[in-house]
Chains A and B, each alone.
Chain A
Amino acid sequence: MDTRSEEFLAYVQSGGQVEAGDWMPDEYRQKLVKFIEMHGNSELMGVLPEREWILKAPTLQRKLALTAKVQDEVGHAQLIYRVVEDLGKPRNACLADLVSGKAKFHNVFHYPTLSWGDVGVIAWLVDAAAIISQKALLKCSYAPYARIMKKICWEESFHILHGRDVVLAMMTGTDAQRELVQEALTRWWPPLMQFHGNPISREEDPMYVWRIKSQGNEEARQQFLEGYVPQIWELGLTVPDPDLRRSEDGTWEYTEPDWDELKSVVTGHGPRSQERLDFRRRLLDQEAWVREAVLAA
C-alpha cells in the first residue's frame, strides 16, 4: 500500500471521518460503493415480499402501518442510492447491475412470504437484525453514509414495534393464528441466523479494516440473539434449533448455519431471487418512458 493510503487507513482506524469530496484510496472507494450499493439493493428488493401483504392487510390500521413501513424502506433506498451516486456510480447503473444479477442483495429478501405470520415475523425480527447492523453503521468512517443512518435507524424503530404488535395480536388470538406465527418463525430462523454473515474475524473483514463497518459479523449476531431470543421464548414460541442456548459467560451457542446456503442464495439462487429480479426488470422497462419524460428536464 502506498504511503498516502497507509495514512488514510490509520486516519479512519483512529476514528477519522471522510466526506464525499475528500481524497480516498481506490480500494476504499470500491469497497464503500459495493457495500452501500448492496444495502440500497436490499431495501429495494426487500419491499417486494412485503408489498403483497399491503394489499391483503386485514384491518385499516394494519394496512396503513404496513404501507408506511414499506414506504420507509423505499425512502431508505432513495437516501442510500444518493450516497452511491455522489461516490460516482449513477442510480441507473446500480439498478442495471441489480437486475442483471451482477450486484447482490441480502439473503432474507430472496425468500417467499407465505402468510400474515411472515408479516409479523419479518417486521419484528428481520428488521431487528437489520437495525443492529444499521446502528453499528452510525460510526461508519464515510460520513455521508453515517449521517443517513440516523434517519434510517429512527424510522426502523417503529417497524420493530409494529412487527411485534402484529405478532402479539396473533399470539393472543386463535390457535390457528398462533400456529401461523410459529410456522413463520420456523421458516425464517435459518435465514435470520445467516443474515449477519459468516463468522469472519473483524481483522480479516476488509469492511471492518476500513471502518466501513464498525462491528464484526459474529458480534452483530450475538447482539441479535441476546436481544431477541428471550423475547421469542417468553411468548411460548419454539426456535427450531435444539442447540440454541446462552452459555455461562453470556455468549449464545447455536447450530452452525449453512454458509453454503447463504452463498448460494446471495448469488441469485434463492427460492424467489430470479422471480423478483424479473419483476423489477419488467417494471423498470415498462416505466422507463416516465423517467425519460420527467427526469430528462
Chain B
Amino acid sequence: MSERAQRLLELADDELIVGWRDSEWTGIAPTLEEDVAFSSIAQNEIGHARALYELAAAELGTGPDELAFDRRPDEYRCAPLVELHLLDWAHTIARRYLYEEADRVRIEALKSSDDAEVAGLAAKIDREEVYHRLHAELWAARLREEPRFRDAVAELWPYALGVLPPELRPELARRVGLEPASNSPLRAAERGSHTEQLRELWEEMTEVRRSAPGAQW
C-alpha cells in the first residue's frame, strides 16, 4: 500500500470511527436542540470519511463501503482517541474539542499538499469543520469551570496527541494550552495499536453487513 493510501486511510478511519461514536448520541443528547446539531456533526464526519475512502479506493481498486466495513479490526488505522466508548457528555465534548483541534492542525498541513486531490478535499473538509470548531469551542467555554469536563480533557490529552504525527504535536499543545511539564516528554496513546473497544464497535458496526456478505443493501 502506498504512503498516500495509508495516510488517507488513517484520516478516513479516524473520521469514520469518531463519526460512528458521535452518531451514538442521536436521539439521546442532553437537549433536543443540541441533539439535532450534534447529529449533523456525526453525519458530516461520516461524509468526510466516505470522500476520503473514495480517494483511497480509487488507488486500491476497491470501493468506499468495502474499505469502511470489510476489513478486520486490526487492519483499521484509526487513532485510539476515536475508539474510546465515551457515552457521557463531559468526555464526549472533551473528545470533540480535542479532536477538532488536532484535526485542524493536520488539515492545515494537508491543504498545502502537492497532491491536488488531497489538498482539494482537505479544503472542502476544512470549510465544513469551521462549524464543528465553533460548536466545540462554544461547549468548551461553557463547561470550562466544570470539573467533570476539565478532568475529561486531562484524561484524553495523551490520546489527542496520538492523533497527530510527532512533528505536529507541539502545535497542538500550543493551541490547546496544555503544555506538559518541561521535564517530561509528551507521552501519547500512539496510533498503531487498537483498544478492545474498537473490536466491540466493529462487531456492532459490521453485524448486518456480515450477515449477507456481498449483498446489496
Task: Determine, out of A170-178, A191-199, A210-218, the stretch whose residues face the partner at the interface.
Answer: A170-178
Is A60 in contact with B35, judged by CB distance below 8 angstroms? no
B154 within 8 A of A: no
Write out the residue numbers on chain B whose beta carbons fall within 8 Å of the beta carbon of A67.
Answer: 23, 26, 39, 42-43, 46
Write out the residue numbers on chain B whose beta carbons fall within 8 Å of the beta carbon of A55.
Answer: 20, 23-24, 204-205
Interface size class of B (residues with CB under 8 A): 35 or more
In the complex, which of the residues A53, A291, A294 has the most CB atoms of chain B within 10 Å of its own CB atom?
Answer: A294
A148 within 8 A of B: no
Known A-B contacts A51-B28, A169-B217, A294-B31; A71 and B40 likewise in contact (beta carbons under 8 Å): yes
In the complex, which of the residues B40, B42, B212 has the most CB atoms of chain A within 10 Å of its own CB atom?
Answer: B212
**Chain B nearest Cβ from A77, distance in angstroms:** 6
Known A-B contacts A64-B47, A67-B43, A177-B215; A75 and B26 likewise in contact (beta carbons under 8 Å): no
A283 within 8 A of B: yes
Write out the residue numbers on chain A whose beta carbons fall within 8 Å of the beta carbon of B205.
Answer: 55-56
A26 within 8 A of B: no
Query: CB-defined interface of B47-67 with A at 8 Å, one 1/0 digit per residue?
Result: 101100100000000001100
Q: How far is the CA of A269 from the CA of B138 in the complex (A)?
A: 42
Q: How far is the CA of A70 from the CA of B32 in the complex (A)?
A: 12
Q: How far is the CA of A77 from the CA of B34 in the complex (A)?
A: 12
A12 within 8 A of B: no
The residue of chain A having its C-beta at the shortest distance from the C-beta of B39 within the complex is A71
A260 within 8 A of B: no
Q: How far is the CA of A293 from the CA of B30 in the complex (A)?
A: 11
Q: How far is the CA of A53 from the CA of B49 in the complex (A)?
A: 19
Q: How far is the CA of A238 from the CA of B106 in the complex (A)?
A: 54
The residue of chain B having its C-beta at the shortest distance from the C-beta of A75 within the complex is B36
The residue of chain A having its C-beta at the shortest distance from the C-beta of B217 within the complex is A58
Known A-B contacts A67-B46, A71-B40; A56 and B208 likewise in contact (beta carbons under 8 Å): yes
Q: How far is the CA of A44 from the CA of B205 in the complex (A)?
A: 24
Binding site for A on B (CB under 8 A): 20, 23-24, 26-36, 39-40, 42-43, 46-47, 49-50, 53, 64-65, 68-69, 88-89, 142-143, 146, 148, 204-209, 211-212, 215-217
Report, nearest first, the 4 A-B pairs whose CB atoms are least far apart: A47-B27, A58-B209, A290-B30, A78-B32
28 A-B pairs with C-beta separation under 8 A: A50-B27, A51-B27, A56-B204, A56-B208, A58-B69, A59-B69, A59-B209, A60-B65, A60-B68, A63-B46, A67-B43, A68-B39, A71-B43, A74-B32, A78-B32, A78-B35, A81-B32, A166-B217, A172-B216, A173-B215, A176-B211, A177-B215, A290-B31, A290-B89, A291-B30, A293-B142, A294-B30, A295-B31
